[in-house]
Amino acid sequence: MGAHWAGAILLLALVLGGSARAQGALLQIKQLDRLAEKAADTVEVNLDKKLLQLAARFLDPNKPQEARVRELVGGLDGVYVRVFEFNKPGEYSSADVEGLRAQLQGWSKIVGVRSRREGQNVDVHIKYEGERVLGLAIIAANPRELTVVNIVGPIDLEKLSQLQGQFGIPSLDLEKATKPTPRKD
């Protein structure tokens, strides 16, 4: 995945759209912190609602792009990221990833990417309550890197689609996306 993808995922996480009612969207990712001892490089981001609101104050409401980001960030309950880069394959186990996936019961998987050539797996899940999106989880794993992003709070895909192609956010064709049917596991 590399630093390029980790940065892109983190940026995407920061512009997604929360309240305490979204607590069911909070994953227990601190269990992965023990991997930091084995990792060559780590990234840990823990931004709760207060810190996100503080960060939003530094965005200029008179600049349209920053105003949109400010609006999205202002509604979040939290953004939590873990990135572990290892010197060699096998320094984390599939059980670490499966422990995360087990927490996604009742979530809808909207993206799944598998690359056998690079050994990379990326999953994107959304947590719904009725018609509202309450959270997003991204798990990206390859033999030498594990990245987890958890955004807690309502996510407005229409607002997110306005930010595509800006701030390094890739085009996700969200305007064509329809609400996926929740998984029945």
Most confident of 3-12, 60-69, 89-98: 89-98
Average pLDDT of the residues of the chain: 77
- pLDDT for 20 equals 37
- In this prediction, residue 136 has a pLDDT band, given cuts at 50, 70 and 90, of confident
Q: What is the pLDDT of residues 3-60, one digit of tens each?
A: 444 445 545 555 443 333 455 788 998 889 899 999 999 988 888 888 888 888 888 8
Short-list 17, 47, 32, CA closest to 136: 17
- In this prediction, residue 133 has a pLDDT band, given cuts at 50, 70 and 90, of confident
- pLDDT for 145 equals 94
- pLDDT for 15 equals 47
Report the share of the chain in percent with pLDDT over 70: 72
Transcribe 131-178 into DSSP letters.
TEEEEEEEEEEETTEEEEEEEES---HHHHHHTTTSTTPPP--GGG--
Per-residue pLDDT for 75 more than 50? Answer: yes
| Cα 177 from Cα 110, distance rounded (Å) | 10
- pLDDT for 166 equals 47
Instruction: Report whether 162 contacts 68 (CB < 8 A).
Output: yes
